Amino acid sequence: MLPYITLSKFIYNVFPKVKNQLAIYKEFLEDCPSPELKVQALESIKHKKFHCLGGNIYSVKNYNLIPFITAFQTISDYLDNLCDNNDVNSEKAFRNLHNSMLEVFDKETSHHFYEHYPQKNDGGYLDFLVDECVKTGSSLPSFSKIKKDCYHLTSLYVDLQSLKHLEINDREHRLITWHENQKDANDLFWWEFAAATGSTLTTFALALEASSKNLSENDVESIKEAYFPWITGLHILLDYLVDQHEDKEQGELNFISYYPKKEVLNDRLKFFVEKSLESAAKLKNSSFHVLIVRGLLAMYLSDPKVKKQNLDPFAKDLLSLAGSDTTLLYNYCLKLREKRTL
């Protein structure tokens, strides 16, 4: 019964609040001086709203998280658009833009976000989103206890985004070298480590923990170890699995393409599912975190692109591995997609 009570709150209480938050951002953008930045910002909200809705599963436990999660994820999606959709190939430009995310956890460090980017005047949009994160994050009782770890996780995210958008001949070598220099790579393939750094879920899980006045260092470590790299890796690998055909057509980087053969891909994704469920089950409030893992599988594998790419048999294997509750969630997601709620 618990998953369905949680999902009901998620769909009928949290979703409308997230959409209201996104409407505020769209209204802010009406006065954006740069036509190009305005288009990219509005496009990111329109086409990547799914990310904000999904990330706010943590807000089911605390509605006050909605502005923080929505603003932080919107920064991520907006900057991804800027790096993808403009004729720019500058690591400095990519890094400076993404440094805005670091300011959420260290406002003392000031960056000129658009310094190396051709368009610069967003009318204060990026600053507005950063300030929204800082304001709502600071209202959490234990936010100060998670800032250092969130900064580290976000710095890995910034590294990834700064390298993965480089030209195809340069990015792979740079990502491999980056992976080799990481202490917490956990014997992962370089593209698996990169995928794990590309998820914001650990930050959102820590923000939920920061809602408690009694957050301990052990609680923070437990969340980090459970989520990174297993749950975050699963999250982004599923995302790339679904987008394989689309990315190939557009010449975009896709980490799934680096698996040497289909059997290795199948085995590794199953391994990530097992490790994610095992790690989530060890956490306090384990049923909620297990639900999130199952929800990731249900949401991504219910995407129509799975069927179009003939991935149904593999999807069924992953759903079966995660248990009958996951298959029920999958069927629920299919219905939500039919109604265009997802």
- Among 128, 123, 119, which residue's Cα sits nearest to residue 85? 119
Q: Locate the domains of the chain by residue range.
A: 1-139, 143-342
Reply yes or no on whether the pLDDT at 2 is more than 80: no
Mean pLDDT across the chain: 94
pLDDT tens-digit map of 122-161 = 999 999 999 999 999 999 999 999 999 999 999 999 999 9
pLDDT tens-digit map of 280-300 = 999 999 999 999 999 999 999
- Among 244, 256, 258, which residue's Cα sits nearest to residue 305? 244
pLDDT of residue 107: 79
- Global pTM reads 0.95
Reply yes or no on whether the pLDDT at 342 is more than 80: no
Reply yes or no on whether the pLDDT at 333 is more than 60: yes
151 burial level (CB within 10 Å; 0-12, 13-18, 19+): middle
pLDDT tens-digit map of 32-57 = 999 999 999 999 999 999 999 999 99
